[in-house]
Amino acid sequence: MIGTTLFGASYSVYVRIVRLVLAELGIAYALSEVDIFAKDGVPVDYLERHPFGRIPAFEHDGFRLFETDAIVFYLVEHFGGEALLASEAQMRARMRQIMRIMDNYAYRALVWGIYVEETEHARSGRLAPDELERAAQCLRVLDDLSGPAFFVGAQCTLADLWVFPMLAYLRLAPSGAVLLRGHQNLVAWLERMDDRPSVQATRFPAERTGAVPTQS
Ligand SMILES: N[C@@H](CCC(=O)N[C@@H](CS)C(=O)NCC(=O)O)C(=O)O
């Protein structure tokens, strides 16, 4: 396959991270829609691209890849996107720390624990204190790590592009919006990010229409 193709769904947090990077770097690509939550399960041919059945998967001029981190670093290195990396060692380490916090702690708590539970499982206002506390802890940590303009330094880096999709879902959930109100730094950062063309070009369907996606 010649060119750049991203396989996944526009409602997916991890697909959006890659799309944000593609947009920030001005790389033309095709989005090939794959619904891993389809009634009949993950499409069988998709498992050839991603044996674990997650999204996204990626192909560039015949080079196939999966795992968001690997895809993003390939894009940055192949297409000269170093401006998205913090330039100094400690700041770059902080950037990666924030990315891994999002993967390892925030994704489950914010997206599945709050957004999906409240909007899809009709548990709005009925979450348990420990579910809310896990999300609250993530926000406290992120708030502590956030800088005055972007997460790390004076320019948008991969840290911002990793955090944005997860907080974008969180703020759509009633309890998530309440939690966020206690972190005005994060609210202001979200509003700054909302102005970026990359963010506007990759809106989740639920942000555009107010409709709730099947899964995230
Ligand atoms: N480690 C994977 C995670 C990707 C991931 O979890 N994607 C979600 C959608 S945002 C997914 O495929 N979920 C399906 C599932 O949990 O079965 C990556 O970094 O690409």
Q: Verify that 112 and 185 share a domain, yes or no.
A: yes
Q: Is residue 50 part of a domain?
A: yes
The CA 94 to ligand 1 mean position distance, Å, reads: 23
Is residue 193 domain-resident?
yes
Within a domain: 96: yes
Residue 214 inside a domain? The answer is no
SS3 state of residue 31: strand
Q: Could you give the CA distance from residue 74 to residue 168 in angstroms, rounded to a whole number?
A: 25
Q: Which atom of ligand 1 lies nearest, measured to the CA of 56?
A: 20
The count of domains in the chain is: 2
Give the pocket of ligand 1 (CB within 6 Å).
12-14, 36, 54-55, 67-69, 216
**Same domain? 19 vs 48:** yes
71 & 151 share domain: no
Residues 104 and 164 in one domain: yes
What is the domain extent for residue 19?
Answer: 4-83
State pTM to two decimals.
0.95
Question: In this structure, which residue's CA is closest to atom 15 in ligand 1?
Answer: 54
Measured CA to CA, the distance from residue 12 to residue 138 in angstroms comes to 20
CB–CB of 198/24 below 8 Å? yes
CA gap 142, 167 in Å, rounded: 11
Would you mind telling me the total number of residues written for the chain in this entry?
Answer: 216
Q: Whose CA is nearest to atom 9 of ligand 1?
A: 12
Distance from residue 77's CA to the centre of ligand 1 (Å): 23
How far away, in angstroms, is 52 Cα from ligand 1 center? 9
Residues 90 and 40 in one domain: no
Number of Cα atoms under 13 Å in the Cβ half of residue 207 = 21
44-53: long-range contacts, CB 8 A cutoff, minimum separation 24: 46/7, 49/7, 50/7
Residue 11 belongs to domain with CATH number: 3.40.30.10
What string of pLDDT tens digits covers the 216 residues of the chain? 789 999 999 999 999 999 999 999 999 999 999 999 889 999 999 999 999 999 999 999 999 999 999 999 999 999 999 999 999 999 999 999 999 999 999 999 999 999 999 998 989 888 999 999 999 999 999 999 999 999 999 999 999 999 999 999 999 999 999 999 999 999 999 999 999 999 999 999 999 875 444 445
Token output for 36: 């891993």
* Secondary structure of residue 59 in the 3-state scheme: strand
Smallest CA separation from ligand 1 atom 11, residue: 54
Residues 90, 111: one domain? yes
